Chains A and B, each alone.
Chain A
Amino acid sequence: AQSVTQLGSHVSVSEGALVLLRCNYSSSVPPYLFWYVQYPNQGLQLLLKYTSAATLVKGINGFEAEFKKSETSFHLTKPSAHMSDAAEYFCAAVGDGGATNKLIFGTGTLLAVQP
């Protein structure tokens, strides 16, 4: 079955520390992967996307993610956390073999940034 797994429902880092949010996908999904961010009481905003081009993808707000096919992973990183990064982050993959635009979402990771 197609699935997206996010390890760690809650992650806490200190301001200035490395942010690492983990995402693994089932090998049956096509390689179209996304990270979305949701700030409190808001909708989802695209951070970055992988669509079979460069394996290291740069997004907004200093985030980047690396597609590793051998590990079926698409982890999100940021070298130095800022207080404004506190939000919930969702990894998503295209389902249905890409036949439709249906997205499969992970369960989300809530990032807390401590001063």
Chain B
Amino acid sequence: NAGVTQTPKFQVLKTGQSMTLQCAQDMNHEYMSWYRQDPGMGLRLIHYSVGAGITDQGEVPNGYNVSRSTTEDFPLRLLSAAPSQTSVYFCASSYSEDYEQYFGPGTRLTVT
């Protein structure tokens, strides 16, 4: 199993550009989520999904969109990038009956 994979590993955007961060898992996990990690703030939940076709907002959803058309994939879209979105983004997944989450390696995003 590859576990949770994320692409790209690094990305630099200009203010106003859009892009999609990819996340995939091969463990047939129902639950998937996106976090951002900023120094001194831990990880904060952006969006999550409890299954294909079902998504909901987390703590810091503004400026981000998600969709979940398959069990495996959970892309995160930045609609119009802002410098405040410079961060490290982590995708995670778990079985719905188990709270243990498995994390991807992260995407380091810089918005100039």
Q: Which residues of A contact B (CB under 8 A)?
A: 9, 32, 34, 36, 42-46, 49, 51, 90, 92, 94, 98, 100-103, 105-108
A83 CA / B96 CA spacing, docked (Å): 36
Q: Which chain B residues lie closer than 8 Å to A36 at the CB level? A: 103
B105 adjacent to chain A (CB < 8 Å): yes
Interface residues contributed by chain B, number (CB under 8 Å):
26
Q: Which residues of B contact A (CB under 8 A)?
A: 4, 31, 33, 35, 40-45, 48, 50, 58, 90, 92, 94, 96, 98-106
Which residue on chain B has the smallest CB distance to residue A92? B43
- A105 pairs with B42, CB closer than 8 A: yes
Which residue on chain A has the smallest CB distance to residue B48? A102
Q: State the Cβ distance, B12 to closest chain A Cβ, in Å.
A: 17
Q: Which chain A residues lie closer than 8 Å to B92 at the CB level? A: 44
- B31 pairs with A100, CB closer than 8 A: yes
- A32 pairs with B99, CB closer than 8 A: yes
